[in-house]
Amino acid sequence: MSMLSGKAGHELFVYGSLQDPDVLYVLLNRVPDRVSAVLSGFHRFRLKNRVYPTIVPDGTGEVSGKVLKGITDDELKLLDEFEDVEYVRKAVHVVLKDNSEKLQVETYVWRNKDDPDLYGEWDFEEWKRHDKDDFVTATKKFLEGRKLPEAKTRIDTFTTFFKQETENGKHLDS
């Protein structure tokens, strides 16, 4: 697979699985330059029966994550497809942790801020320990499925994959 092309220059704040270099490499066939940042005024939630988080505005919270630099147009299109209809990409302001520089970037925000499946606080380190390997495998399946005429969305791919994992005896954290 060749590197995705297109104009480079998008900056994207990520706060969940897309912080992980292995996930980025599977999706983009490279790991973009990344810097640590904080997004204020949002809360990062867990989602019932899902292994990835989301954020919604709350006015007071802070979400730590990474700013991906130099994302191409084609990569952004792929990431939009990966995030699917559950998220909307929005412009936000973040503060870089290393030098307090403020940047306007884009991020993926949960479409339904009143979703009853939102709860608690999602933890990146816990995700790496418990869900990362399966997430990487499901992401590979999503990419493989995109090549098929009857391609599934990321939501459908992940639902099928994690349902099979649960039926095979692995507990899906909820």
Q: 62-119: per-residue pLDDT in tens?
A: 999 999 999 999 999 999 999 989 999 999 999 999 999 999 999 999 999 999 999 9
Q: What CATH number does the domain located at 8-122 have?
A: 3.10.490.10
The predicted pLDDT at position 111 comes to 94
**83 noted as active-site residue:** yes
Q: How confident is the model at residue 173 (pLDDT cuts 50, 70, 90)?
A: very low
Q: 45-72: per-residue pLDDT in tens?
A: 999 989 999 999 999 999 999 999 999 9
pTM over 0.85: yes
d(CA 149, CA 26): 21
d(CA 158, CA 63): 25
From the candidates 62, 83, 121, 125, give the one annotated as an active-site residue: 83
Single-letter amino acid code for the residue at 114: D
